[in-house]
Structure formats: structure tokens, C-alpha cells
């Protein structure tokens, strides 16, 4: 199963989600990320947050949705409110779509310790949601039930 985490810039929340999902993923699951208007680079603090958590940053990059035109995802999860309101490319149409909104830790204007705490809190929330995702009984869920479960995870 291939999951796409989508945001606007693909530099922070979607990158953190991709890395955490892949860190926890059992065999047969893979996450990728993209942005509707990719920034072209991953925020350095996103990378250091992942490294401090012991999560690989290998292969992480800021990219657009067109990177997945030939290999569309099974599930699209938007993680920022701006991306949630955008139309997905037509080649994503068979994918289940859900929104797991996250506050943008890169928007926090405060001292370094507070900004670091915001990034860690966002990563912890992503971890909780990914764990709930992997706990789902996929073999027992039809498409509608899976969509309902994905929507429920957004409340965690």
C-alpha cells in the first residue's frame, strides 16, 4: 500500500509524515510526500528533528505531485489545511483521500527551545496517527470503512 502525504510546500509536515510512516511501516507499506507548490528544499529543522528522533532522512526531498503521475498512491493524506482544499490531480482520483490537519511548526515565532518543542510535538502527533493507521485491520475493512477509519485517525 502506497500512501502520499501532501502539503503545500512539501518542506515540513508532509516530510515529517513521510519519514515517520516509513520508519514505523511494516513490509508492504510505503509513504511518499509531495506539495502542490513545492518549496524545492526541505526545512533544515525538519531534518534535524527527524535525526534527533533516530529517523532516517535519506532520500527526503521537496517535490510536486507530478512526481507520482506514473505510480499513483492508494491513499492521499493532506496534512495542511491549504492542501486539503485543493483539488488532487486527476491521476490520484482512484485513491482514498483524507485530511490529517497539523499545525505548522515552522510558523511558530518564538525562542529556539519553543520552536524545537513545536517540531517535536508535531512529530509525536504524526507518530500517534501512524501507529493508529498500522493498527487497522485492513483485511476486514471495505473501502468505505477504511475511509471512515482514516477520518477518525485525524482526530487523534
pLDDT at 90: 46
pLDDT at 62: 96
Rg (CA), the chain: 15
Percent of the chain with pLDDT over 70: 92
Stretch (H or E) spanning 15: helix 13-24
**Distance separating alpha carbons of residues 78 and 85, to the nearest angstrom:** 9
pLDDT at 66: 79
pLDDT at 80: 85
List the chain residues with pLDDT less than 50. 88, 90-91
Stretch (H or E) spanning 18: helix 13-24
Quick: pLDDT tens for 26-43. Answer: 999 999 999 988 999 999
C-beta atoms surrounding 101 within 10 Å: 12
**Distance separating alpha carbons of residues 43 and 106, to the nearest angstrom:** 8
pLDDT at 85: 57
37 contacts 14 by C-beta, under 8 angstroms: no
76 contacts 88 by C-beta, under 8 angstroms: yes
pLDDT at 83: 55
Amino acid at each position: 500500500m502506497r500512501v502520499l502525504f501532501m502539503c503545500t510546500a512539501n518542506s515540513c509536515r508532509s516530510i515529517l509524515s513521510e519519514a515517520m510512516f516509513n520508519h514505523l511501516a511494516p513490509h508492504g507499506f510505503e509513504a511518499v510526500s509531495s506539495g502542490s507548490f513545492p518549496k524545492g528544499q526541505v526545512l533544515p529543522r525538519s531534518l534535524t528533528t527527524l535525526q534527533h528522533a533516530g529517523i532516517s532522512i535519506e532520500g527526503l526531498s521537496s517535490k510536486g505531485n507530478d512526481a507520482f503521475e506514473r505510480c499513483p498512491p492508494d491513499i492521499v493524506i493532506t496534512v495542511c489545511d491549504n492542501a486539503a482544499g485543493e483539488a488532487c490531480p486527476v491521476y490520484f482520483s482512484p485513491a482514498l483521500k483524507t485530511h490529517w490537519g497539523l499545525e505548522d511548526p515552522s510558523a511558530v515565532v518564538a525562542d529556539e527551545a519553543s520552536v524545537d518543542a513545536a517540531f517535536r510535538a508535531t512529530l509525536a502527533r504524526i507518530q500517534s496517527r501512524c501507529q493508529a493507521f498500522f493498527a487497522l485491520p485492513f483485511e476486514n475493512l471495505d473501502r468505505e470503512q477504511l475511509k471512515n477509519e482514516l477520518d477518525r485517525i485525524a482526530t487523534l
